[in-house]
Every structure is written in structure tokens, then in C-alpha cells.
Amino acid sequence: MIRQNMFEKKYSLLAPYILDESVRKNMLSNEDLLRKYDSNHSMIKAYINEIDKRFDRETINKMIIETIFKFSSPVLISFITAYLNSDESAKSNPDVVQFYKKTLHQGTDVIKYVEENGIVTNRTFKEIPQKILDNKFNTLGGTKQYGNQLLRNLYPSLTTLEKQLLIEFLETNDYIVLNDLFSGIIPLKKLFMLLKSAGIDTQIINKKNVNALGEENMIRLVLTLFTLLGDINIKHDIEVVKEMLNNNRYDLISSLLTNDMIMYAHYLNPNYIVELSEEEMIDRINMSKVILEKSAA
């Protein structure tokens, strides 16, 4: 009786649903669980009040075990927040915890979405990432243009990965640069297909780099990288170009463009970008080309 009174005192919210004496005994000796319960008492109370209206004692017992017992404090608070913001169909679904768990593997944006909009308890939970993208686009780019066309009319033609890249440019305000440089020469859909395929993002095309290289050189750099699509070395070429830009080696990029040598950037070791002079870099490329030609002869 003393132990029973102690349990009901420490876990007053859970006592009506946890009746197994062995479980109660383990809960009393579990200091981590007690700390979690105490620190989140008000949220747990709101959660218990809601599920008590909708489920029988056995189902509530299972839900308590799956959430309060098993979730860490941050995940527990996230789940309860999402549950409280859910519609009646989700709140009354006995599998609501399992549907929430599915969102945990979809990234922080999806978790934030369900916290704000409620848990999705049907197959449309798979559409949440797309909804997040669309919401971001409407906020950031809904009124912008690509050339003389409204961006919102072109956006639906992009794939999900292309949309993610577009939003990256919008979030960093580098879309302005992209529009100025390419809207007159490449349709948006083709541009983002090429950018995504080549691995070109805001690390390469941004206001700082355009100001340093000049618009003509930036256009030439990007178009040259596009021509390398399908080349086995393009990933390394892009890596080296990003390293040169990150280290402000605009002199070297300009020289490689002038000498039509960007396609040989993969001959350079990114670790030496800062240390070697422009002449030393060019010499290394030429030396590598000679060695390769001899080995192929």
C-alpha cells in the first residue's frame, strides 16, 4: 500500500492507466523517467487529458509507453505539440504515434511542419516535404520573375531536387544574380536541370563571386562546367572550382578561363589551392597533361 501511494503521488497523471505492479516498481526506480515526467508535467497533463477523451485504458497504456516512456524529452515535447495541433481525425487515430514516428526520418523541416500543422495520419504524410517546399517558394519567390516571366508559373515544371536548389538561391538572395546572368540565355527549367546535374549551387554562383570574377567570366565558368556533364572528372572539377572560390583565388580561375583550362581543374589538389601561385598551378596542370598523354601513347 505504501508503494502504491508513493507511485500515485509521483506519477499522479499516469496512475489510472499503469496498473501492472512490476511496471510501477520499475518506474519508481527509474530516475531518468521521473525527471522527464516532472520537467514536462504540464505538457504530459495536456496530452493525457486529450487521449483520455478518445481511447480506452488499454490503448492509452500503449500510447504512454510508446511516447512518455520511450521518447527523449525533446521528441516527447515535439510529439505532444504536434498531437495537440492535430485535427480530430488524427487525435482519434490509435496509430497516431506511428505516423508521427515516420516524420522523424524526414528531417527537421518536416518535424517543424507537423508541430505547427498537426500529425498527418494517412498516405499524404509523404507529401509533407513537397508542401514545405511550396510554402517556402510562395514566401520567397511568389512575386519574383525569371526574365519577363513570373517565376510562380515556371516553378511547377521543376523536379523536387531542382525546386530545392531554386529555394537555396532564393534564401541566400543569390537568385537575383542567377536571373541577371542567365534569364536571357537559358530557360529556367533547362538551367536548373543543368545546375543540379553538374552540382553547381550558391557556393559557385553568388553575388560575391560575380563581383570578383565579373559577369562575363561567371557566365563562361558556368557554361564551361555544363559542357563537362557526363565527364568522369566533373565532380572533382566542381570540388576544385569551389575550393578556389572559397579561398578567393579569382586570379587563378580567370587564368584558367582565359587559357581554356577549367576542364583540367581536376588535375589540381584542393589542399594546395591556397599555397601555390597561379603560375605553379598552371605548371602542374600542364605537367599532368603531358604525363597523361605519354601514358596514353
Both 121 and 155 in a single domain?
no
Q: Which among 177, 194, 227 is the end of a domain?
A: 227
Specify the pLDDT at position 290. Answer: 61
Both 124 and 58 in a single domain?
yes
Least confident of 57-66, 81-90, 109-118, 252-261: 252-261
| Distance separating alpha carbons of residues 145 and 150, to the nearest angstrom | 4
Give yes or no for residue 243 having a pLDDT over 80.
yes
For 103-140, write each residue's pLDDT tens digit.
888 889 899 999 999 999 887 778 888 889 999 999 99
Residue 209 domain-assigned? yes
Specify the pLDDT at position 220. Answer: 96
DSSP conformational letter for 285: H
Give the C-alpha distances (Å, rounded to integers) separating 138 from 90, 95, 160. Answer: 27, 32, 15
pLDDT tier, 273 (very low <50, low <70, confident <90, very high otherwise): confident
Of 295, 270, 234, the C-alpha closest to 284 is 270
Both 47 and 157 in a single domain?
no
Specify the pLDDT at position 272. Answer: 75
Residue 232 domain-assigned? no
Give yes or no for residue 256 having a pLDDT over 60.
yes
Cell of 72: 527523449
Q: Which among 176, 203, 227 is the end of a domain?
A: 227
pLDDT tier, 231 (very low <50, low <70, confident <90, very high otherwise): confident
Specify the pLDDT at position 295. Answer: 58
Both 181 and 208 in a single domain?
yes
Which are the contacts of 129, defined by CB distance < 8 A and separation ≥ 6?
106, 107, 109, 110, 160
Q: What sections of 141-276 are H helices per DSSP?
A: 151-154, 160-171, 175-182, 188-198, 207-213, 215-227, 234-246, 250-258
Residue 10 domain-assigned? yes
Both 40 and 106 in a single domain?
yes
Q: Which among 227, 255, 279 is the end of a domain?
A: 227
Specify the pLDDT at position 1. Answer: 53
Both 217 and 264 in a single domain?
no
Specify the pLDDT at position 180. Answer: 96
Q: Please report, rounded to a whole number, the percentage of residues in the chain having pLDDT higher than 70.
A: 95
For 206-225, write each residue's pLDDT tens digit.
999 999 999 999 999 999 99
For 166-194, write each residue's pLDDT tens digit.
999 999 999 999 999 999 999 999 999 99
pLDDT tier, 282 (very low <50, low <70, confident <90, very high otherwise): confident
Both 218 and 244 in a single domain?
no
Specify the pLDDT at position 64. Answer: 97
Both 218 and 246 in a single domain?
no
| Distance separating alpha carbons of residues 249 and 256, to the nearest angstrom | 11
Task: Check: CB of residue 133 under 8 Å from CB of residue 164.
Answer: yes
Domain count, the chain: 3
Q: What is the mean pLDDT of the chain?
A: 91
Least confident of 3-17, 25-39, 211-225: 3-17
Residue 108 domain-assigned? yes
Task: Print the domain residue range for 245.
Answer: 238-297
pTM of the model: 0.74
3-state helix/strand/coil string of 251-281: HHHHHHHHCCCHHHHHHCCHHHCCCCCHHHH
